[in-house]
Structure 1
């Protein structure tokens, strides 16, 4: 019964992937998300005008719309989901930690948007078009390239684990990955997947957060022009929380899929090899997709 429960996320994930890429589901989701973003953006502009006119009650409407915009923005094709999902499948990350990384990466996008807009306004005297151009033509490809490097790292790391595991597969192993000679040959399941360093977290958050949401940039510019800067900043943060609501859900699905797949091997050296294969596949997927997105954004 427990094994059947663990298999369920894997089955659901595979079914979702087939629908998205095999039956045109991705195009439908993208169109739905784009329309939702347009509707929310138009309504946000109206709420900003109400705030500018002194209507304090418009605060709740503005923040609600900003959250909705962030949700629709994340629901469409995006690099945050790609990295969080690929990393969660490729490495054995505690669920709470991956969810925290998803939240941090989304909030980092808001920080980047604020930094870009106010540096552009006060330091470089950039206009709206220039700031959006920097976000979309410079920071977006840079973010995709950074994500591709994370994918390459996952791929190489998984290949290294797989090579060591297969090099010593002839030894008699115990469940902990050691052999009768008293030494360990190749990674155990825990060694193959555990996140141990702050470096991993920084790389993930920075690669996603370096590219601000264009909607947040526009909101911040409008807020500054209308002299309601705090409304723009608060709205950008809430947009990031809306984005995080989707990426955190992806994190939960990714961890559930990985644990469900590894549950079939019941631990030991076989599970460690399976974990290495999963890491290789996840890294390759992230590398290929992020590279394609980087090239298309140039």
Structure 2
């Protein structure tokens, strides 16, 4: 068995465990418990930092990274967007990983902006900000994810449509009219546009991490705002450590699949991959929306 088939078999086994044998629920329970434990440890580290204990700052920031990691280990919309986009679009692995990193840091920036806008302008507390994040921004984010899924489906359908009635070689100059009617394999590997990048990053960033909200509110109250702001960004790096792995896994899945088809069928396979990935994203996002309202 060739290595692309081994990768596909491994990913299929993981998916089967997650969605058929209750693996997703087990991961969620683990992540939720770990997040709660890390939040308690963060609160203790903040008290130590406020009291001037040596090493408290390093402990705090280490816990922030750990919180971001365990938060991302559970089911989340960031992995759904990055995985779906990477599986359905031929974007290079490094660029997709860059989008995953940028989106995680942008999510932290959203938390910072929300907290300081809320406390300065509206005088809100933790409960109000968490309520906005969970009751308003979460459903909005999931709706945006569903829109990304629909967008991938529409784009895949468009790519399936024949450009012209006369015969030509995909990605090469047509002998009938002297023009190229389809992208070469190298052209297909480039990032589609800045619009794509902004959609991916914005869809993830619109929903701030509740752990970052927790940290920022506590550090604001303790008047050590700078420690909370840096800590929120470190949380973003912890989250990115998972989403970047998802990015490479999505690219590996996509490229392994493409190696099983002929060169002539690559464009059509990519179009169907967009449709399939978009359908999965749309279905899962719809479930998330229903659970959050």
TM-score normalised per structure 2: 0.93
Q: Which residue does 1:282 correspond to in 2? A: 277
Partner residue in 1 for 2:195 = 199
Which of 217, 222, 225 is 1:221 aligned to?
217
Give the match for residue 94 of structure 2.
Answer: 96
* Number of the residue aligned with 2:13: 15
Match of 1:49 in 2: 47
2:171/2:181 contact within 8 Å kept? no
- Tell me whether 1:153 sits opposite 2:151 in the alignment: yes
The match for 1:257 is: 253
Structure 2: which 5+ runs fail to align? none
Normalising by structure 1, what TM-score?
0.92
Deviations 1:247-271 (A, max 9, x none): 0000000000000101112322x11
Alpha-carbon distance between aligned partners in 1 of 2:189 and 2:45, rounded to the nearest angstrom: 47
Task: Name structure 1 gaps, 5 residues minimum.
Answer: none
Quote the offset at 1:7 in angstroms.
Answer: 3.1
Cα distance in 2 for residues equivalent to 1:193 and 1:33: 35
Q: What is the match of residue 263 of structure 2?
A: 267
Q: Offset at 1:184? A: 4.9
Alignment partners' CA distance in 1, 2:21 and 2:52: 49
| 8 Å contact from structure 2 (residues 141, 204) kept in 1 | yes
Partner of 2:29: 31
CA distance in structure 1 between the aligned counterparts of 2:154 and 2:183, rounded to whole angstroms: 15
The whole-number CA distance in structure 1 between the counterparts of 2:41 and 2:81 is: 31
Q: Count matched residues.
A: 292
Partner of 1:163: 161
Per the alignment, do residues 56 and 234 of structure 1 end up closer, same or farther by CA in structure 2, a change over 3 Å counting? farther
The equivalent residue for 1:241 is: 237
CA-to-aligned-CA distance 1:230-257 (integer Å, 9 cap, x gap): 1111111111111100000000000000
* Conservation of the 8 A alpha-carbon contact between 2:64 and 2:231: yes
- Aligned mates of 1:34, 1:103 — CA distance in 2: 23
Structure 1 residues 264 and 11 mapped into 2: Cα distance closer, same or farther (>3 Å)?
A: same
Report the Cα distance in structure 1 between the residues aligned to 2:169 and 2:270, rounded to whole angstroms.
17
CA distance in 2, matches of 1:48, 1:164: 61
RMSD across aligned positions (CA): 1.9
Alignment correspondent of 2:109 = 111
Counterpart-to-counterpart distance in 1, 2:29 and 2:248: 25
| CA–CA separation in structure 1 for the residues paired with 2:181 and 2:195 | 26
Deviation of 1:59 (Å): 1.1
Provide the secondary structure at the position in 1 that maps to 2:160.
helix
